[in-house]
Amino acid sequence: MEPKVLEAHIKKKSSENHISSIISIDGKPAMERGENYASLILRYRLEIVLCSGEKTVKYLIVKRLPPSEAHIKFLQELSVFKTEIQIYSKVLKSMKTLMEEFEDRRETLWCEMLAHSPYDMIVLDDLKDQNFVMMNRRENLDFDHSILVMRTLGRYHAMSKILLKRLLIYPSDFPSYLFTQPLLVNICFISSLTVLEEAVKRSWGAKWSHLPEILRKVKSQTNEKIAKLVPVDESRFNVLNHGDCWTNNMMFKHIEGTKTPCAVKYIDFQLSHYNSFAWDLTYFLYNSTRPAIRRAKFKELLTAYHQSLVYNLKYFNYTDNDVPTFGQIMEEMDRLEIFGFLLLTSVHVMTSADTGDALDLEKICKNLDNPCAGINIDIFSTPKYRDSIEDDIQNFIKNGII
């Protein structure tokens, strides 16, 4: 077929799929209370007419700042929407171009941003419309889902390294990690340790009578320890981290008729930051992988990440000799182990709690001098939480982490 003839056919087919008009729009909340803390998320159903004359239905996700003034002020000061819009409009666009350059036909690791308003609104493709589903945050992720996440983080980090190498993005483009900033350290980690200490006294029993004193000691050292971890050391293998890899910020596609995941896409890039790869790995493993699976399969999960990182760096022709060995991967994870403890005693319990009222961010925003007022002490007292992490607590004590 002549190129001009083929071009005409393709253009005609493409134009037929363009939207001619929208007949109706209906929006509903996409997530229940306790499923997301930094955005108001709506799912819109659009009945549309295509240029071909056909009628069809399309779904969109719209993320907005929440309605509370205190909440809005808090999030605007943290610039989370600005960061996410930058990731979609610059970083992910460059990653897609990189994939085209290498004729990489794998699924992208993100959804498409269709529109945005600086800096309070983002319109995204609805991944449910592409057969992606969100897993149950209360159950955390099993081994199959966790190892897929580790492999795709290796791929994502590798692509970010290529963009950094080509000077398409710069470390200075991104803010420091939100969870290492003093305000968030206080709101998230120190406040949670305070509430956990009280919960242990009330309900954990005599076996744990020694723990409150240990928690008080950790609490007094938290700011200092985080401050030592956070500076970027260019001798380490630094990448663009997703920053918020927890269960509700990723969606999975499964092999039809099975529970076996075959693809994952990441959402919510509001906490993206430049630093060691180990920040993402620690955040994910201690937050969203089932604790018993993380403990039993820790090296296997990290091996999957390392193999993927090495493979994808080679795939995209990365030639520098600074690719970490598996031993260096383990060393970095050891270095950030205190961050794992802090996550396990704060974000993990909040995001896996059986209640939707684990955390009242609006109440916290209005009581920054006493953020404990917004944390539900009951989530730290459940047998589900205590039983799942008690082996970790004992290991942290035994290994001198706390």
State how far the Cα of 346 lies from the Cα of 94, in Å rounded to an integer.
34
Q: Which residue has the tokens 């205590």?
A: 386
How much is the pLDDT for 1?
62
- The pLDDT of residue 16 is 61
For residue 76, the model assigns a pLDDT of: 75
Phi/psi of residue 117, each to 5°?
A: -125, 120
Q: How far is it, in rounded angstroms, from Cα 368 to Cα 370? A: 5
Q: Return the pLDDT at 27.
A: 81
Say what the pLDDT of residue 9 is.
Answer: 59
Confidence (pLDDT) at 99: 98
Q: What are 51-60's contacts with CB under 8 Å, separation 24+?
A: 51/15, 51/16, 51/17, 51/18, 51/19, 51/20, 52/16, 52/17, 53/20, 55/23, 58/129, 59/126, 59/128, 59/129, 60/114, 60/123, 60/124, 60/125, 60/126
Domain extents for the chain?
Answer: 127-398
- The dihedrals phi and psi of 243, each to the nearest 5 degrees, come to 95, -20
| C-alpha 11, offset from chain centre | 38
- Helices (H), ranges, 248-401: 278-287, 291-315, 326-335, 337-344, 347-351, 361-366, 383-398
- CA 108 from chain center: how many Å? 16
Asked if residues 148 and 132 have their Cβ atoms less than 8 Å apart, the reply is no
**CA–CA separation, 367 and 359 (whole Å):** 13
Q: Which two tokens stand for residue 298?
A: 């820790």
- Position 334, amino acid: D
Q: How many CA atoms lie within 13 A of 369 on its CB side?
A: 0
Question: What are the distances in angstroms from CA 381 to CA 201, 210, 227, 358, 364?
Answer: 10, 16, 30, 12, 21
Q: Which CATH architecture has domain 127-398?
A: Alpha-Beta Complex (3.90)
> What is the CB-side half-sphere exposure of residue 311 using CA atoms within 13 A?
12
CB-CB neighbours of 126 under 10 Å: 17
Phi-psi region of 53 (alpha: psi -120 to 50; beta: other; left: phi over 0): left
Q: What is the pTM of this model?
A: 0.92
- For tokens 């991944």, name the residue: 127
Contact indicator for 124, 114 with CB cutoff of 8 Å: yes
Q: Which long-range contacts (CB under 8 A, 24 or more apart) does 44-47 make?
A: 46/22, 47/22, 47/23
Digit-by-digit pLDDT tens for the chain (402 residues) are: 667 665 665 666 666 667 778 888 888 887 776 556 667 899 999 888 888 888 888 899 999 888 777 777 777 777 889 999 999 999 999 999 999 999 999 999 999 999 998 888 999 999 999 999 999 999 999 999 999 999 999 999 999 999 999 999 999 999 999 999 998 999 899 999 999 999 999 999 999 999 999 999 999 999 999 999 999 999 999 999 999 999 999 999 999 999 999 999 999 999 999 999 999 999 999 999 999 999 999 999 999 999 999 999 999 999 999 999 999 999 999 999 999 999 999 999 999 999 888 988 778 877 777 878 889 999 999 999 999 999 999 999 999 999
Residue 124 φ then ψ, to 5°: -130, 155
- Phi, psi (degrees; rounded to nearest 5) at 331: -60, -40
DSSP state letters, 214-259:
HHHHHHHHHHHHHHHH-S--TTS-EEEE-S---GGGEEEEE-TTSS
